[in-house]
Amino acid sequence: MIMFQHRPIAVTAVLTAMLLAGCGTSTDQSTENGTTPSPGTATPDTASTPSAGEVPEGVAAQYATLTDEVEAEGGRTTSGDWEVAYIVEPAEPWFETTGEEPTRREPAAGETHHLEIIPIDAATGRIVPDVPIRLEVLDENGEVVDEKELMFFHAEFFHYAHNFSIPAAGEYTLRATLQPPQSPRHGESLEELTLLEPATVTFENVRLEPAA
């Protein structure tokens, strides 16, 4: 199994604010009667273990970064049960792991952009894992200039991406085709399951400018 990790969308800004508001934790390790635990006494790690109703700091940070990046470098749309976002960045390296020592994969010759797609469960705002995604880049004539099966990246926020080769600066259309998640489902009945249908979404007039 190959895992990918690289640098640094998204639920709404309202959800992000709720996440951030809920991630504060207490560092007071005093007991209820005001005494301080003696050395060697086990105490809860309140800095890393959220209380009931709180959101872990890492989860809040993930969605805050996600929102910032899609607002600055991308966009979003909805289709059925899906919310789909994209981010455009210059071609990037990543680490590949195959069960041995991770190896750094630099951008290949001709790769100009790192295009990211983030599939989100519209009902819950959660990023969806195990989604096969194919991304096509179309020019102004509707011709496909590059297309890739996206890889799942473990990064500041989970997403799917690959490096693409764009021949010239211009306005392009991104067409992403998402298949239902391949993982098994929990649930009491078929009727309560979501994300069972594939979706194809397009983002038009996306400006892509290959670096000099």
pLDDT greater than 60 at residue 175? yes
Per-residue confidence at 127, pLDDT binned at 50, 70, 90? Answer: very high
pLDDT interval class at 212 (50, 70, 90): low
- Contact (CB, 8 A) for 88 and 74: yes
Q: How confident is the model at residue 210, as a pLDDT?
A: 80
Domains of the chain in start order, with CATH, are: 3-23+54-208 (2.60.40.2480)
Cβ neighbours for 119, distance < 8 A, ≥ 6 positions apart: 82, 83, 84, 127, 128, 131, 133, 160, 178
| pLDDT in the model for residue 50 | 66
Residue 6 has pLDDT above 60, yes or no: no
Mean pLDDT of 137-161: 97
- Is the pLDDT at 28 greater than 50? The verdict is no
**Residue 164: C-alpha distances to residues 41, 115, 148 (Å):** 55, 7, 8
Query: In terms of DSSP H, where are the helices of 105-153?
Result: none
The full DSSP string for 35-96 is PPPPTT-----TTTSPPTTPPPHHHHHHHHHHHHHHHHHEEEEEETTEEEEEEEEE---EEE
At a CB cut-off of 8 Å and minimum separation 6, what does 160 contact?
A: 116, 117, 118, 119, 131, 133, 150, 151, 152, 153
Q: What pTM value is reported for the model?
A: 0.77
The predicted-structure confidence for 79-100, as pLDDT tens digits, reads as follows: 999 999 999 999 999 999 877 8
Contacts of 72 (CB under 8 A, 6+ apart): none
Q: Is 21 helix (H, G, I), strand (E, B) or coil?
A: helix
On the CB side of 201, CA atoms within 13 Å amount to 22
pLDDT over threshold 60, residue 59: yes
Any residues with CB less than 8 A from the CB of 103 and at least 6 apart, and which? Answer: 95, 96, 97
Whether the predicted pLDDT of 129 surpasses 50? yes
Band (20; pLDDT cuts 50, 70, 90): very low
Sheet holding 82-90, edge to edge: 74-79, 82-90, 113-121, 159-164, 151-153, 3-5, 94-97, 103-105
Mean pLDDT calculated for residue range 128-147? 98
